[in-house]
Structure 1
Amino acid sequence: MKLGFNLLLWTSHVTDADWPTIEKLQATGYDGVEIPMFEGDVAHYEKLGKRLAAAGIKSTGIGVMPGGGKNAISADKAERAAALEHLKWLINCTAAIGGDIAAGPFHQPLGEFSGAGPTVDEIARCAEVHRAAADYAAPLGITLAVEPLNRFECYFLNSAAQAANLVKQVGASNYGYLYDTFHFNIEEDSITAVIPETIKQITHVHISENNRGVPGAGHIDFQSVFNALKQSGYDGWMTIEAFGAALPGLAAATKIWRPLFARYEDVYQHGHTLMRTGWDRAR
């Protein structure tokens, strides 16, 4: 089991200025960090990767499907081709930091809705784009983890069953889905029952409280999640994803209108203790 922390709590683009934060996470006991990949070139991430490697810090990458002519479920062939090129960029950036997982909701642009659920054609188009991306990622040692989001953020992929079915349609050994406690707390009848049901398709895990704040301070029963993951044989990353109001653009995207914690230390220190002790107790 590897414990990680998503740097989106502090920044949407990691630079040298964020290194003190990374050092604090390492000192707390995290095995690695999740690097937001929304901009920049591969050379930028290669530089970051060298510094991470020198410090003995592992990493994963996370990105989105940005829209603006890039959409993996679009009926427009050019938009799907652009979506694939974007995914190749995300994969290359993840390889550049030495990461093993490229994760995120890279199926449709966030906040776009059709007024209905996904169509059979949209699912088939997404599977085709993601299959090509997985083929590209395989020689680089990268596993893709597509992320279902709750119904208020997207319409294409909301549930564990939908995600597992998409993974089966893609049919690549290095392609799975990202299990996120925040989204499934909204969408699933049971956030634990879906774990054994879809464990073969889970390639990444996000630990996130019901209000996106301090893990363990809300109402999600994380111990039951740890129990289900361990019982099902999961042994990948468990990465905390939390958000604050410090970054206006990110706060607007994640709908964080009020302070959710007093100190950043409360999030990453309590979060690490929650995951480490919870996993050790899991049975």
Structure 2
Amino acid sequence: MKNPIGLQTAYWSGTNPKQNIHQIIRLTKAAGMDIIELKAADFVSLSALERSDLRKEIKQAGLCITVNGTGLRPQRDISSSNIEVHKAGIRHLKYMIDLCKEMGAIYFSEIPYGLWNTKPEGKDVAEIKKIRTENAISGLKEVAEHAHKTGVILCMEIVNRFEQYIVNTVDEGIALCQAINNENCKLLLDTFHMNIEEDYIPDSIRKASEQGCLGYLHLRESNRRIPTGKKKSNIDWSAIAKVIHEIKFNGPMVMEPFVLSQSPSAESVSLWRTIKEEEDIKGLVTDEKDGADYLRNL
């Protein structure tokens, strides 16, 4: 695959010693990446001058930027029926889009249609889901229009049933895109989540593309490891590569592995064992380089 290959900064979260953003930039480049995917915590709290310096540093390393992480919270939830909370969600997402523009990121992704790691607050799931979806569509129309004006592409990540309930499948994501009806609102498809929810990942990627909804991809194995081709896999990477070629998709492909049990996100992603030792910085770089090489040669 000839697509630009990237790595999310969260991959390095939990190393010992801890890596700062400047070290992460160097390690990401050393792993052979084209893209560094920033989390909101990497840049939101910085001053405008510090963000400018960070953007320059990343550019000098020869890397492009994508951003993953909406920063939505219960007090700023766009799917809420509480009008003040709903409006706060809209304001926050527009602010994040402005920061993405400031950082030079074309793609801004995660779950803008609701909160991560939530379950329905009642027994009538269908009705709750309907109301939450309608609220999200109403707010995201305004957010997507702001994205269009700024030139940022809002990519709604489709996650599995254990992490969200409003949108879990590509079909539901396409319906959400079509309801929002803005060319700057697309989908982020993730092979880990798709392996749980889709019948056949390549067909779902093709369908999203045919409907004009494919933004970019997150790539990882069914256990959230790095795809390297060195072991048998539950995911048919060759078939995914084939459909990518057939639909002529040239967008980003970002690896988002979770392998460090000391990561702050280990509990939230249910990583209850050590996949990679936290001190093995060299091994982390080698694994990512192997992954990038494998994907490029598919």
What's 1:66 paired with?
72
Q: Are 2:209 and 1:209 equivalent residues in the alignment? A: no
Where do 1:237-276 residues align within 5 Å?
Answer: 237-261=252-276, 263-276=283-296
How many angstroms does 1:45 deviate by? 3.1
Contact 1:6 1:33 in 2 (8 A): yes
What's 1:108 paired with?
114
What's 1:134 paired with?
144
**TM-score normalised to the size of structure 2?**
0.86
Number of positions where the alignment pairs a residue of Structure 1 with one of Structure 2: 276
Contact 1:52 1:97 in 2 (8 A): no
Q: Are 2:33 and 1:27 equivalent residues in the alignment? A: no
Q: Are 2:167 and 1:157 equivalent residues in the alignment? A: yes
How many angstroms does 1:20 deviate by? 2.7
What's 1:196 paired with?
206
Out of 104, 115, 130, the position equivalent to 1:98 is 104
How many angstroms does 1:149 deviate by? 0.7
Query: In percent, how many aligned pairs have the same letter?
Result: 22
Contact 1:127 1:166 in 2 (8 A): yes
Give unpaired runs (5+ residues) of structure 2.
278-282
Give the secondary-structure state (helix, strand or coil) at the position aligned to 1:5: strand
Per-residue CA deviations over 1:57-116 (Å, capped at 9, x if unaligned) read 211011135323111111111111111122122212211221110011122112221152
Runs of 4+ in structure 1 off by over 6 angstroms are none
Contact 1:178 1:206 in 2 (8 A): yes
Contact 2:113 2:133 in 1 (8 A): no
Aligned-residue CA RMSD (Å): 2.1
What's 1:8 paired with?
10
Give the secondary-structure state (helix, strand or coil) at the position aligned to 1:192: helix
Give unpaired runs (5+ residues) of structure 1.
279-283
Q: Which has the larger radius of gyration?
A: 2
CA separation in 2, counterparts of 1:59 and 1:104? Answer: 15
CA separation in 2, counterparts of 1:80 and 1:233? Answer: 38
What's 2:197 paired with?
187
Give the secondary-structure state (helix, strand or coil) at the position aligned to 1:75: coil
Give the secondary-structure state (helix, strand or coil) at the position aligned to 2:207: helix
CA separation in 2, counterparts of 1:144 and 1:16? Answer: 29
Give the secondary-structure state (helix, strand or coil) at the position aligned to 2:148: helix
Which one has more relative contact order, counting CA pairs under 8 Å at least 6 apart?
2
Contact 1:65 1:107 in 2 (8 A): no
Tell which deviates more after alignment, 178-187 or 93-102.
93-102
CA separation in 2, counterparts of 1:256 and 1:211? Answer: 9
